[in-house]
Every structure is written in C-alpha cells, then in structure tokens.
Structure 1
C-alpha cells in the first residue's frame, strides 16, 4: 500500500464529508456524495478491506472532521527503565495509553489508561510531545491521529495486567521488546529517554 496515496484519499474523503455536512445546494451534495463513494472504493481496493468495515471507522457524520487523539503515559522507574504493556490485539509492546475519552483531560486519560493496562497508579506531570502520526514513519491507518506523550510519576509500586494487556514490565532503553508499531516506535521511545536524561527540555511538536 502506498502511504502517500492512502493519506491523500483519506484527506479527499474528509473534504467530501465536510461538504456534505455544510452544503445545502442539491447539485453540490450529489457531487460530494460521489466523491465520498469513489474514495471508499479506492480505500477498499488499496486495503482489501470491505467498504462496510471501513465506513464505521472513517466516517463520523457529525460535522467538521478532526483528528482523533491518542494519549500515551511515559513512566520510568528508579532504574531508568520505561514501563511498557503487551497488547492482546497483536502481542506486541507499547506505552500505556489509548484514545481520549469525553469528560477526561489528557492527563486524566494517561492516569486512567496506566491503571487499566498496567495496574499502576501514576500522576501526569509534564507534556513531552504532541505528534502527528502521519509524520512519524508509523503504519498508515484510517484515522488521522495526533499522539500526546505525557510524563507520569509513579504513585503506586505494583504492576499487573489489565483486560487489554497480557503482560507488563519495565525495560531498559537498549533492550526494548518488539514494539506495537501502530501505537509507538523505537524513535519515539528513544525520544522519551532523551527527556529523561535532560537532553531535551522543550515539548516536541510536529
């Protein structure tokens, strides 16, 4: 799959959805519908995923399209090891985190996800990075995603698996497990260690 064309089709589809939401001219509405349908057909051809499975993910039908937000908790222990969880969905490892929830701040999401996925009580204390997933050499996805990385301090001391994880552990920077690349990559983990060592101070953003 060409990542370039994949992202362009998603952008064109988003514009068609915006046109359908705000346009009142019947002729224009018909054309926006046709553009949207062509985009879905192209996505189906590129991904080999049926249109009926693509639509619930990519179409919001509730106004102006905006990126989804993914929050990741960055937690270190006294040995300068980073906390990672093994995802049930792909058996690979990631920083605790997930989609933001209505009525929760980014900090609250990081704290909640860390407890749910790693069984660890933490306190979000610092913004480290806001990244555009498309610009981070990560696998293409139907959603357009902003990723927020928050430094969290341990409040508790014990860790345990959650309903969406099958393992949890602390890892050295040079001995990272196989990472869940849709969620985080090695460059991002390395960047978090740069903040830990004081090599970076200002928040990163794309």
Structure 2
C-alpha cells in the first residue's frame, strides 16, 4: 500500500478530522464531512475495500489525529531471537497495539504473555521508528513502532487465538515469510545488534 494516492487520502482524512473537531461554522463542517467522504472513496478505489468498511476503519475517530503505538518484544535465548507464527502463516516479533491502560513496558510484557505464554521483563529500549519509513503499510493511519529488549523469566508456549507456534532463530535462519507490516528482517537484525551490544544507543526516526 505504499502509494502517493493513499498518502493523499490519509492527509485529506486527517485535515477533515481536525476540521470537524475544531471548526465552528456549520457550513465548514459540512465541507469537512465531504472531504472525509472523498478520502474514504479514494481509499476504497485504490484498495478494493468497500467504502462502508473504509468509513468504519478510517473515518470513525474524533479529535486531532495522532499515530497509534505498536510495541514489539525482542526476547533472546542462547543467542536466538523469539518469533511468533501468526494465523496467516507469517512470522513476527511478538507485540501489538499499546492499550490505553498500559505503559510501553507493561504492554510489551502483556503481548508476549498473550502470544507465547512466556513471562518476560522489559529491560531496554532498542528503537522508536516511524512505520512509514521501515514497514510495508496496510493501515490508513500513522504507526509509531517501539522495540524493547526483554528478558525471559518463565513459561512455555500456550495455545492462543493469535499465534499457532513459536520459534527461536539465529541471524542466518530468520524466516523468509515475515509479517513485514509488523516486523521486517532489518528490524529483527537491529534487535540482534542491540542484544549483542551492551552500549547500544537507542535508535529513533
């Protein structure tokens, strides 16, 4: 979905959402609603997703639009990194959207527990990345990705609704089929670099 057309639609939707929140004139608000509808139709035309679903996913928030936060855990054992096998057959670092009642650290630990059954402790911040610069995009909003180095404490894999299995991989055995909107090979290798470097400096962009 990396496409200028979609970038334009996202920008139009963001402007319309802010206008609906802060605009005072009823006629201006009608125009912002129309802009929002145009943005939804642009997105639908480009993705073949029905416009009603686009409205639900893309045009249902109020207030000033801000990025969502996605936390990803880097858990190592014997120099190998933990990846989860998702229901669609792809592999990724365990993680997900940061819940409103969680901190970055607690959400990272919670996601690992839910997707693997492991109890881990969030130790160190590896990177904060703008998803648009690093990942294949499949959402119509911004995403800030936070990578956390975690220490395994206890537990074993437990069946769950999100993942079918787990695996530990070294640098040379990283799976080819990755959920690249969530985790790219470069991001996994970055986690290896951070794990192996006690003086790692947090990356951000």
Q: Which bracket does the TM-score occupy, shorter chain normalised?
A: over 0.9
Alignment of 1:87-102 (within 5 A): 87-88=86-87, 90-102=88-100
Aligned match of 2:119: 121
Q: Is the CA contact 1:111–1:124 (under 8 Å) kept in the aligned structure 2?
A: yes
Partner of 1:139: 137
CA contact (8 A) 1:160 1:168 kept: no
| Contact residue 135 and residue 181 of structure 2 kept, 8 A | no
Contact 2:126 2:201 survives alignment (8 Å): yes
Aligned to 1:28: 28
Cα RMSD of the aligned pairs, angstroms, is 1.6
Equivalent position SS for 1:91: coil
1:168-187 alignment runs, 5 A limit: 168-177=166-175, 178-187=177-186
Deviations 1:137-179 (A, max 9, x none): 4234223111111110011153334221011111111111121
Residue deviations 1:78-136 (CA, integer Å, cap 9, x gap): x2100000111x21101110011111111111111101101111000111111111111
CA offset at residue 200 of structure 1?
6.8
Q: Distance in 2 between matches of 1:159 and 1:2?
A: 35
Any unmatched runs of 5+ in structure 2?
none
Residue aligning to 1:62: 62
SS at structure 1 position matched to 2:137: coil
Structure 1 runs, 4 residues or longer, greater than 3 Å off: none
Change (3 A) 1:200 1:52: farther
Using the TM superposition, give the Cα deviation of residue 199 of structure 1 relative to its aligned residue in structure 2, in angstroms.
8.4
Q: Aligned residue for 1:16?
A: 16
Query: 1:62, CA displacement in angstroms?
Result: 2.5
Q: Taking structure 2 as the reference length, what is the TM-score of the superposition?
A: 0.94
Q: Secondary structure at the match of 1:174?
A: helix
- Check the 8 A contact 1:138/1:181 in 2, yes or no: yes
Give the count of matched residue pairs: 204
1:203 has 2:202 as partner: yes
